[in-house]
Amino acid sequence: MFPFIFEWVWDIDHLVFMGGLWYALTIIGLGLTYCVAKTIIDIKSQEGKGGHDTHH
């Protein structure tokens, strides 16, 4: 799974397979990070406006 685990080999098989995995994990990770960050910004901006109504 990681290059530091001893059975790792720098060959095309590992690059394609693990590349695909890390690519998917990165997209999911970035997507979630974006959502959480955006949520925090949204809440902050709403608090700034002094609004407490969450139903809009």
Partner 1 sequence: MTTPAIPEGVKRCPTRQFALWLAVVGAVLLWGVYAMYLCWYKGLNQTNMNDAYGFALWIWADLAVIALGGGAFFSGFLAYIIGNKEVKHIINYAVIIGFICYSSALLILAIDIGQPLRGWFIFWHANVHSMLTEVAFCLSVYFAVLTIEFLPLIFENPKLDRIPFVHHMAHNLHEVMAVFAATGVFLSFFHQGSLGGVSGVLYGRPFSYRDGLFIWPWTFFLFTWSAAAVGPLFTISVTRLTEAITRKKLVKNSVYQMLAKISGWMLLTYIIAKIIDTWYWATEIAPSMGFAFMDFYSNNPLYGIWILVAEIILGGVVPALILITRKGRENGYLLFTAAILAMIGICLNRWVMVLQVMAVPLLPFQEWFMYSPSWQEVATTILPVAYGIILISLAHRYLLVFPQEKELNPGN
Residues that bind partner 1 (CB under 8 A): 1, 5, 7, 13-14, 17-18, 20-21, 24-25, 27-28, 31-32, 34-36, 38-39, 42-43, 46, 54-55
- Closest contact distance (angstroms) between CB of 48 and partner 1 is 13
- Closest contact distance (angstroms) between CB of 19 and partner 1 is 10
DSSP states along the chain: --TTSTT---SHHHHHHHHHHHHHHHHHHHHHHHHHHHHHHHHHHHHHHT------
- Closest contact distance (angstroms) between CB of 25 and partner 1 is 7
Q: Which residues lie below 8 Å from residue 2, measured CB to CB, with a gap of 6+? A: 8
